Amino acid sequence: MKRNTIILCIATLIGITAVVESCVSTKVIGKSGTTLWSENCQRCHNTPPSSAFTNTQWEVINTHMRQRAILTEDEYKKITEFMQAGE
């Protein structure tokens, strides 16, 4: 009986972890560059229009801002693509 309870607890914990992880990843995967940009880049300052910088400059700026905004690789790519598309 006791052993079954322990096994049930472990199974439940694994189940909860899997559900939480899948929620987090679909949240990021589902977000567009526009959404990520508006959620992350205007916390500290207004952002200039994408036409203000060239594609290469956006890569450099976002490499730097990625550290400031604590972005993942995926978020960084999506935001940079969004800024570059406006050029």
What whole-number distance in Å separates Cα of residue 67 and Cα of residue 12?
Answer: 36
Cβ proximity to ligand HEC, 15 vs 48, nearer residue: 48
Q: Give the shortest CB-78-to-ligand HEC separation in angstroms.
A: 10
Q: Are 75 and 40 in contact (CB under 8 A)?
A: yes
Q: Give the shortest CB-27-to-ligand HEC separation in angstroms.
A: 17
Give contact residues for ligand HEC (rule: CB under 6 A). 40-41, 43-45, 47-48, 61-62, 64-65, 68-69, 79
Distance of CA 38 to the CA centre of its chain: 12
Q: Give the shortest CB-31-to-ligand HEC separation in angstroms.
A: 13
- Compute CA distances 15 → 6, 12, 22, 63, whole Å: 14, 5, 11, 36
Cβ proximity to ligand HEC, 17 vs 38, nearer residue: 38
